[in-house]
Structure 1
Amino acid sequence: MALQIPELPYFAPQEELPHELPNPYIVAKMPEFQDPVRARQGIRINDHYVVKFGLDEASGTSEAINMLIVRKYTSIRIPTLYAAWPYNHNGTEVWVLLMEAVDDLAVDEEWFQKPENQDSLLLDSIKRQLQEARLELRRIPHPGTGYNLYGHLRCFKNPHLDLKMFSTAEQARDWLFHAMVPKHQAQGYSVTEQQYAKKWESAYDKFCGGLTSGDEAIFTHFNLSPSAVKVQRNGRILITGWEFAGFFPPEFEYVTAYKAGELGSVWSHNISRCLSEGVYDEALELIEKTAE
């Protein structure tokens, strides 16, 4: 099965809309949208819609395309995307994303930090659902020959990835390793500095070229954090924040999710572990031990 890349602009069929589409001109004039940071993060405008306004082409199109792909190829619960279109705002083309307003989100990232929740049945349910979601993402077909690891977004530059795109797993791992364990330039030739340099080089070589997790790129959320995983009152999770998703080496989901939590938090040492499948600890261990 070949991956079909959604085309933008996108508008859901009229019969699927819960309410008429808002006018972007009116949205741009609303007081809530005068803060560009909040506007890009998304603001609820009524009982039906959340609007992300003022997105640049890279973030706007990537989030829209990724949400449509996840909706088509998986049963993972995400907010419904109703529309995504460019809009000329004060002479600059920005993107408008119109999403489902989801009610009854019972917990947020602070919930994960509470000791009484660390061994709860709900926590076990969240882990199980994240494992199921990861398996579903693996089944999204890779775009194939001619696409790099960032897959369908090969035409766009993504600011989160430092404007880099990768054609091989080694290139992707090189970027991730440098991002998490910077190579400090030695100021001298002390024993400590020499030991660190050797340790860094050894871990780097192993991470970029010799991991047992394999090199096959799989569809990856790449930004799983406590704030991206919402839990509804019925216990089902809702996964948000798909703007950085794409095709990456298989250990990236686990490693980036682990690093997204606070040091020693229940998220890093409990929730994210469910994504490792007992296979990708090698990658995290290399990063952790070198970073120490």
Structure 2
Amino acid sequence: MNQLLSRPPLATDSMSDDELYTLIMNMDWNRSGVGYMPDLDVMGPPPVYHIRPYTLVAKHVAFDPWTEVYAMHHVQQHTTIPIPQVHRVIPDQRDGGRGFWLIMDFIEGECLLEAWPKLSWWRRFQVVCTLRSYIQQLHRAPLPSPDIPGPSDGTGRSFPCLGNHFDDGAGPFSTYAAMAAWHDHQNHRFQVLLHQQGVKRIWQYSKFDQSLPLVFCHFDLHMRNIMLDKNNRVWLIDWAFAGAYPAWFEYIPLGSTVKTANPMFSLPRSFAWFIGFIVGGCCAPWYYDNYIGDFYLRIESYRKRLIDSDYFVKQGIDPKLWQPADVARPSLSHVMVQRCFDIVYDTLLVVRGLFVPS
């Protein structure tokens, strides 16, 4: 899979993997880092380095790289979204080959978080319209396994879901229903924890909504993973978490930065206004506000605790008092309003296209 798509030859093509690995190891790591923002990267710089003097970067991944490689290949095959091309995958010899280096195109430009304050309002509108069209393309792309959620390598295997509320990984899930059951189980564990801590009124939760189909999602869409190159072209980068999820999952990384109490990590307000427009079509803000927004905090509350899933049964508590009675789903009127907005939004895309030919 090292040569994924046809492309012009590169100066590094004649190098062996060992020679390219030596080049990576001999880089000036401090000078070659890409995308480092000290105020935000409290855990250290991103593991992405410019391989000078070439127009390539080396990205270190600590887990199976082939799902990210497949996701990028899939996007290149089925959409017109500009993304870096993966040219080679090299085992990291420092840890017995458990880690890998992805050798990809270097995109010369700025991430949207840096560029946004400098953009005119008209240019901002162009960017968010472009992003909406990208998300629409992604969600229309075919899935290799339509009922298997999470990342894929195209073989039909299931892989752990990574990122956002999945944190270090959950699953793998062989079916959509299995992923839904995982969400329900996490809420049930929180329900048990509250009761064990003396909260007399049993906390109620709604079941995960499986009515929406799985679609291909980037699942790490935020302003640092959106690039503007020197020609003002919009790129999407970092596909490590990409996979098959309900369309509203695309909103989660954006919503979490809107709702954060830490201003250092929050989105610019002028960009936050547009995130419903960008994701669109799936009542994503409703799902975030009414279901998933506090999910991660619930998981954190019991992460290191052993919680008996049969707790309420053993306590002899009536199942009607603790089993979920409904599904987390927006009302029909909410859905219809969202569809009306989407008609307006897509009209804006058409109008924008009349003035800015693609």
For Structure 1 versus Structure 2, the TM-score category normalised by the shorter chain is 0.7 to 0.9
C-alpha spacing 1:158/1:70, structure 2 compared with 1 (3 Å)? same
> What residue identity is the alignment partner of 1:142?
L
Alignment match, 1:41: 48
Asked if 1:189 corresponds to 2:186, the answer is no
* Distance in 2, Cα, partners of 1:250 & 1:290: 19
Deviation at 1:172, TM superposition (A): 3.3
Asked if 1:61 corresponds to 2:66, the answer is yes
Q: Size of the alignment, in residue pairs?
A: 264
Q: Is the 1:149–1:169 contact (alpha carbons within 8 Å) kept by the matching residues of 2?
A: yes
Pick the aligned partner of 2:91 from 86, 97, 102: 86
Q: Is the 1:181–1:290 contact (alpha carbons within 8 Å) kept by the matching residues of 2?
A: no
* Distance in 2, Cα, partners of 1:93 & 1:128: 40
Alignment match, 1:76: 81
1:162-187 deviation digits (Å, cap 9, x = unpaired): 24223444543565688899936222
Pick the aligned partner of 2:286 from 268, 282, 285: 282
Alignment match, 1:249: 246
C-alpha spacing 1:216/1:29, structure 2 compared with 1 (3 Å)? same
Structure 1 stretches of 5 or more lacking a match?
A: 1-7
Q: Is the 2:50–2:106 contact (alpha carbons within 8 Å) kept by the matching residues of 1?
A: no
Normalising to structure 1: TM-score of the pair?
0.73
C-alpha spacing 1:157/1:231, structure 2 compared with 1 (3 Å)? same
C-alpha spacing 1:222/1:180, structure 2 compared with 1 (3 Å)? farther
Deviation at 1:155, TM superposition (A): 4.8
Alignment match, 1:217: 214
1:199-240 deviation digits (Å, cap 9, x = unpaired): xx1xx32xx037xxx331100000001101112343321100
Asked if 1:52 corresponds to 2:62, the answer is no
Q: Is the 1:169–1:215 contact (alpha carbons within 8 Å) kept by the matching residues of 2?
A: no
* Distance in 2, Cα, partners of 1:246 & 1:216: 13
Which secondary structure does the structure 2 equivalent of 1:247 belong to?
strand
Alignment match, 1:142: 143
* Distance in 2, Cα, partners of 1:234 & 1:181: 50
* Distance in 2, Cα, partners of 1:182 & 1:253: 25
Alignment match, 2:9: 17
Which secondary structure does the structure 1 equivalent of 2:12 belong to?
coil
Query: Which structure is higher in RCO with an 8 Å CA cutoff and minimum separation 6?
Result: 1
Q: Is the 1:11–1:84 contact (alpha carbons within 8 Å) kept by the matching residues of 2?
A: no
1:57-105 deviation digits (Å, cap 9, x = unpaired): 42x2222111111111111011122222435335334322111111133
C-alpha spacing 1:148/1:90, structure 2 compared with 1 (3 Å)? closer
Normalising to structure 2: TM-score of the pair?
0.61
Alignment match, 1:226: 223
Alignment match, 2:317: none
State the structure with more CA Rg: 2
Structure in which a larger fraction of residues adopt strand = 1
Asked if 1:28 corresponds to 2:38, the answer is no
Deviation at 1:140, TM superposition (A): 1.8
* Distance in 1, Cα, partners of 2:123 & 2:189: 37
1:142-166 deviation digits (Å, cap 9, x = unpaired): 2237x62125243544553424223
C-alpha spacing 1:219/1:13, structure 2 compared with 1 (3 Å)? closer
* Distance in 2, Cα, partners of 1:111 & 1:29: 31
Structure 2 stretches of 5 or more lacking a match?
A: 34-43, 261-265, 298-358
Q: CA RMSD in A?
A: 3.7
Identity rate, percent: 17
* Distance in 1, Cα, partners of 2:290 & 2:83: 33
* Distance in 1, Cα, partners of 2:175 & 2:5: 38
* Distance in 1, Cα, partners of 2:186 & 2:71: 24
Which secondary structure does the structure 2 equivalent of 1:209 belong to?
coil
C-alpha spacing 1:209/1:123, structure 2 compared with 1 (3 Å)? same
* Distance in 2, Cα, partners of 1:171 & 1:67: 26
